[in-house]
């Protein structure tokens, strides 16, 4: 009996050792992220702002090659070079920037993954800074801003005050919905009549959340109508998507084009990620297989179109491939999140899980995961914000970090992993 118990103990220890070896990359990613986030939280605490990226410029020859255009064709769309004293330094943003919710959200996910109370304290502090946004109606990005921050706060540190914040924010998002068109308006700038961008699919989770919290079906109804209108108008027969679709006031389509991609008919990498994530969420909330089939079609397209060995896509699927072509780690992280959830919904889900795992392993490697104290406090390197505007090219982005951590959280849940066992 004693020998049997010893043998069992040895087997258990060996299994634990194998798990530590097999999932060491997960622990490395979590530890590195938590360290970076706490360093940043302390560094910017007195600024009243949120981390967004790093200030960089652009090379016109590279842009010309990537866009397939002469410099004269795109020079008017370029944003100004940052001043020399800013280059390479931390780029902060105010709370009304569309990215403001990602840093608090990252802190919440880091706390969930590791259980460090210092992360929770920082998450509460930075989430509370966003409270004034509950009064704001000037953007469609309210889901990014408030569901990523307050939504995660409600999951992990419930408070009686949070539902009211989310419901009021959802009301403001619904104020941008036009019944004649069947969509939530995205932008209030530019030459478009009623522009809707594929990114807007990501803000529907706020509306689904509001219906659960309030019992009012209207929020969910708006989200479904938006998803239904987007499906036939934003997507091509091969399930790639346009970035921008503008509608006439009677609901007919005015124009289909890109704003951040290579050209109007290209497949902008992050846009494809928004699509698979958004329709997977819509199926989760409705149980309507139409959305599941659509999410599967987008996922299959992504897996067939991304040609890089590490599964981290170039900034646009139609960009000229080469060693200097910018990658977009943010698109990869969003894709991984969508595929992990999708993997639980279909019979052949293992292939989506395996692809998401490959993405997360790549992002957790030294090729993309920043060393502690470097990268201006961000977790991931090598994302692309808007190459077409010469903006945030080959830089860290706060939303890349957020979806990377969300991906790790989903992965650990599906694998049945706990941090203290890694």
Write out the catalytic residue numbers. 141, 199
User: Rounded to whole angstroms, how far apart are CA atoms 30 and 376?
Assistant: 17
Instruction: Give kind and range of the element (H or E) at residue 49.
Output: none
Closest CA relative to residue 177, chosen from 167, 188, 186 = 186
User: Rounded to whole angstroms, how far apart are CA atoms 357 and 80?
Assistant: 38
User: Rounded to whole angstroms, how far apart are CA atoms 332 and 400?
Assistant: 8
Closest CA relative to residue 362, chosen from 414, 412, 404 = 404
Instruction: Give kind and range of the element (H or E) at residue 194.
Output: none
Instruction: Give kind and range of the element (H or E) at residue 198.
Output: none
User: Rounded to whole angstroms, how far apart are CA atoms 221 and 229?
Assistant: 12
Beta-strand (E) ranges in 233-318? 244-247, 253-257
Cβ(339)–Cβ(352) below 8 Å? yes
Partners of residue 316 on adjacent β-strands:
268
DSSP state of 160: T
Pairing of strands 177-178, 90-93: unpaired
Q: Look-up: residue for tokens 């992504």?
A: 302
User: Rounded to whole angstroms, how far apart are CA atoms 298 and 335?
Assistant: 10
């Amino acid at each position: 009996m004693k020998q049997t118990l010893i043998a069992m103990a040895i087997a258990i220890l060996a299994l634990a050792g194998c798990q530590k070896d097999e999932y060491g990359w997960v622990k490395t990613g979590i530890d590195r992220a938590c360290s970076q986030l706490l360093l940043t939280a302390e560094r910017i605490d007195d600024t009243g702002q949120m981390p967004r990226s790093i200030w960089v410029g652009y090379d016109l020859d590279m842009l010309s090659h990537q866009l397939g255009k002469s410099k004269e064709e795109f020079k008017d769309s370029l944003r100004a070079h940052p001043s020399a004293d800013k280059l390479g330094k931390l780029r902060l943003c105010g709370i009304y920037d569309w990215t403001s919710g990602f840093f608090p959200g990252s802190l919440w996910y880091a706390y969930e993954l590791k259980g460090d109370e210092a992360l929770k304290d920082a998450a509460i502090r930075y989430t509370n800074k966003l409270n004034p946004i509950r009064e704001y109606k000037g953007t469609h990005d309210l889901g990014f801003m408030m569901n990523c921050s307050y939504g995660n706060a409600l999951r992990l540190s419930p408070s009686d005050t949070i539902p009211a914040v989310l419901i009021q924010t959802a009301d403001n998002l619904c104020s941008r919905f036009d019944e004649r068109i069947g969509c939530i308006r995205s932008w209030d700038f530019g030459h478009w009549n009623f522009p809707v961008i594929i990114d807007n699919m990501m803000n529907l989770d706020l509306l689904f959340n509001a219906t659960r919290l309030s019992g009012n079906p209207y929020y969910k109804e708006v989200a479904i109508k938006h998803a239904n209108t987007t499906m036939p108008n934003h997507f091509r027969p091969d399930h790639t998507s346009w970035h921008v679709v503008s509608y006439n006031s009677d609901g007919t389509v005015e124009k289909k084009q890109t704003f951040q991609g290579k050209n109007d008919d290209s497949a902008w990498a992050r846009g494809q990620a928004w699509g698979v994530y958004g329709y997977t969420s819509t199926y989760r909330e409705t149980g309507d297989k139409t959305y599941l089939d659509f999410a599967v079609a987008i996922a299959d397209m992504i897996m067939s179109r991304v040609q890089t060995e590490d599964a981290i896509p170039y900034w646009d699927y139609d960009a000229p491939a080469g060693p200097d072509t910018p990658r977009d780690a943010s698109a990869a992280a969003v894709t991984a999140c969508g595929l992990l959830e999708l993997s639980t919904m279909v019979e052949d889900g293992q292939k989506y899980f395996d692809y998401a795992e490959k993405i997360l392993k790549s992002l957790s490697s030294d090729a993309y995961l920043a060393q502690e104290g470097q990268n201006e406090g961000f977790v991931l390197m090598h994302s692309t914000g808007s190459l077409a505007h010469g903006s945030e090219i080959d830089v860290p982005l706060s939303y890349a970090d957020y979806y990377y951590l969300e991906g790790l959280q989903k992965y650990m849940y599906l694998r049945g992993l706990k941090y203290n066992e890694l």
